[in-house]
A and B are shown apart, each in its own frame.
Chain A
Amino acid sequence: MNRFPTLSTRRLHLRAPQARDLDAYAAFYADADASGWYGGPLRRDEAWRQLAQEVGHWHLRGFGVWTLVRKDDGRVIGATGLHHPEGWPRHELTWWLVPHSRGAGYAAEASEAVIAFAINTLGWPAVETHILDGNIAAHRLARRLGGEVIAREAFPDGHERDVYRLATNETAGEAIGERPGEASTTQREGSA
């Protein structure tokens, strides 16, 4: 029984993180500017722990982040998924890309597939994310995904964040998966 579902979009395969993704994790977390919003920068051994933690999240929660693999050349370019550490007040849609893969719409493409999975397969009523004020790129992407700010809250790390609702099971049908060529398909490997 495989508990790690895969997703597919026009340009990307989404699969659970694996040990061979370490180079991409290390490359992202070595980029202080971008990874600073995600607890970085991290040394390579710390990036490995981050990778192991993401895998463990799947084991413990039954959902997590997927590794993004380009269909055309097989390169690992980042991660997108659903994150909810125990003790943290809200789940979030999260994403990151290695430096050379930004600005090409990959995060939005992967996010739409993940949102559709959360609503259609996990049965979530809504998908959220919460973002620190200075992370301009993330705010832009949240709005591009149809996100609306539904709250502003202080989180356990002492920082306030805007909370976005990205899609609900009422809005997902119109917002996601209905553009030609961008519809996401979901399959589970083996029996669920």
Chain B
Amino acid sequence: MTGMAPVIDTARLRLRAPRLKDFGPYAAYYASPRAVWEDGPLDMARAWKEFASGAGLWSLRGYGSLSIEDRATGAYLGETGIYHPAHYLEPELGWMVVAEAEGRGIAREAAIAARDWAYRVRGLPPLLNYIDPRNLRSIRLAERLGARHDPAAPVPEGEGPCIVMRHPGPEEIAA
């Protein structure tokens, strides 16, 4: 039922269901110090759990992770999507990009496409990010996507230090 995951094209990117061959660069990212704010670094077995559970979400919830592919070269650039493990109180908009894709606005372009799909096709309410307050890079990107700190939103149990960034909803984006 991978067919439930859409293929979404943007100016430079294609978002599509995760495939086995994406796991190499995905695991390399999670093994690197760059994953320190994503519960990393993770060994390959833990990275597989993350990768496969994101893919499995599509059957369980009707949304999930999407691999980011460079439309020009087909290269794997990272992952975005809507994450919702059992202990999350709401669906989360997430993203990560491999080192080669840094600094080019790839995460932003991909996250906007995933967010808009979630609103338009799945009718999800305004999405949020759970972010470690020390992860300034991710907080800045959330802000560039129009998200604002939502101090009233509850935080999932057992997530460690975490703030909630609330994204604009579908009406706000359209306005």
**A61 CA to B49 CA in the complex, in Å?**
14
Interface residue total, chain B, C-beta cutoff 8 A: 29
Interface residue total, chain A, C-beta cutoff 8 A: 31
- Residues of A whose CB lies within 8 Å of any CB of B are 1-4, 16, 18-19, 22, 43-45, 48-61, 85-88, 156-157
How many CB-defined contacts (below 8 Å) exist between A and B? 97
Q: Check if B49 sits within 8 Å of A53, measured CB to CB.
A: yes
**A57 CA to B23 CA in the complex, in Å?**
12
Q: Check if B20 sits within 8 Å of A49, measured CB to CB.
A: no
Q: Check if B54 sits within 8 Å of A56, measured CB to CB.
A: yes
**Contacts A4-B1, A49-B85, A87-B27 known; A156 to B45 CB distance under 8 Å?**
yes
Q: Does B10 have its Cβ within 8 Å of any Cβ on chain A? A: no
Partner of B17, one of A59, A61, A85, A87: A59
Q: Check if A60 sits within 8 Å of B158, measured CB to CB.
A: no
Q: Check if B48 sits within 8 Å of A85, measured CB to CB.
A: yes
Smallest CB gap from A21: residue in B: B60
**Contacts A4-B1, A59-B58, A157-B45 known; A85 to B86 CB distance under 8 Å?**
no
**A54 CA to B53 CA in the complex, in Å?**
7
Smallest CB gap from B19: residue in A: A60
In terms of DSSP, what is the predominant structure of the interface of chain B? Answer: helix
**Contacts A85-B48, A156-B45 known; A56 to B53 CB distance under 8 Å?**
yes
* Sampled A-B contacts (29; CB under 8 Å): A3-B1, A18-B60, A45-B86, A48-B85, A48-B87, A49-B53, A50-B49, A50-B53, A51-B56, A52-B54, A52-B60, A52-B85, A53-B53, A53-B56, A54-B52, A56-B53, A57-B52, A57-B56, A59-B1, A59-B52, A59-B56, A60-B19, A60-B55, A85-B52, A86-B23, A86-B24, A87-B44, A88-B44, A88-B48
**A45 CA to B85 CA in the complex, in Å?**
7
Q: Which residues of the partner chain A approach B51 to less than 8 Å between Cβ atoms?
A: 56, 60
Q: Check if A52 sits within 8 Å of B44, measured CB to CB.
A: no
Q: Check if B57 sits within 8 Å of A52, measured CB to CB.
A: yes
Partner of B86, one of A22, A58, A59, A156: A22
Q: Check if B158 sits within 8 Å of A45, measured CB to CB.
A: yes
Q: Which residues of the partner chain B approach A58 to less than 8 Å between Cβ atoms?
A: 56, 59
Q: Which residues of the partner chain A approach B20 to less than 8 Å between Cβ atoms?
A: 60-61, 86
Q: Does B18 have its Cβ within 8 Å of any Cβ on chain A? A: yes
What 0/1 pattern do residues 51 to 71 of B give for CB contact below 8 A with A? 111111111110000000000
Closest chain B CB from A121 CB (angstroms): 18
Partner of B60, one of A55, A60, A156: A55
Q: Which residues 86-125 in B have Cβ within 8 Å of A in the complex?
A: 86-87
Q: Which residues of the partner chain A approach B44 to less than 8 Å between Cβ atoms?
A: 85-88, 156
